[in-house]
Every structure is written in structure tokens, then in C-alpha cells.
Amino acid sequence: MTVVIRHEPEARRFVADIGTETAYLTYREIEGRILDLDHTYVPRLLRGAGIASQLAAHALTYARERGCRVVASCSFVSAYVARHAEFRDLLA
């Protein structure tokens, strides 16, 4: 399932609305140009559909496009980066 992801900078999160459900990945900015991707949430009924992976890829691409480094304190994002070598260079 491919989802549309939007950035909510005031809430420091990337969001995907699927029907009446909302999935998101939150972050905090530290030391200037470092994003700590700290929490991913997907509603139980939507888990296993690749939504968290799409959120992670979107957040990591966002960081790359802005010249930011990343701390993957969210265990899902950490595992995602471990499986996707193309994002490892972003790790702070």
C-alpha cells in the first residue's frame, strides 16, 4: 500500500492518513542540523502494510535533501537504516 505522506513541521512529524487512521513518525531537532527520528506509530489494523517503512524512507529523504544528519533513536528507524545501506551515510 502506497500512502501520501505530509510533513507537519510545527508538530515535528511526518504523517500518513489512511481512511480514519493516522500513522506518523516524530522527530526532534538537535544541535542544529541533526534530526533525531524518535518514534514511529502505525495503528494496529494497518501494521504489516509497509507504512512505517514509507514513513522512514520519507523522513530520511527529507533529512538528506536538507543536508541534515540523523540519529535513529526509534528502534524501527534504526532497523530500517540497517536494512537500507543507501541511508547509512546520514547517521550522526
Closest CA to 52 of 33, 73, 80, 85: 80
End-to-end CA distance of the chain: 31
Range of the domain at 49: 5-90
Q: How far apart are CA 30 and CA 27, in angstroms?
A: 10
Average pLDDT over residues 64-79: 98
Q: pLDDT category, 31, cuts 50, 70, 90?
A: confident
- pTM of the full predicted structure? 0.95
CATH code of residue 43 = 3.40.630.30
Sign of the CA dihedral with 78 first, then 36, 65, and 14 last = positive
The pLDDT value recorded for residue 59 is 98
The angle that helices 75-83 and 51-65 make with each other, rounded to 10 degrees, is 80
- Phi and psi, residue 40, nearest 5°: -120, 135
Q: pLDDT category, 1, cuts 50, 70, 90?
A: confident
Domain count, the chain: 1
Which residues lie across from 22 on neighbouring strands? 17
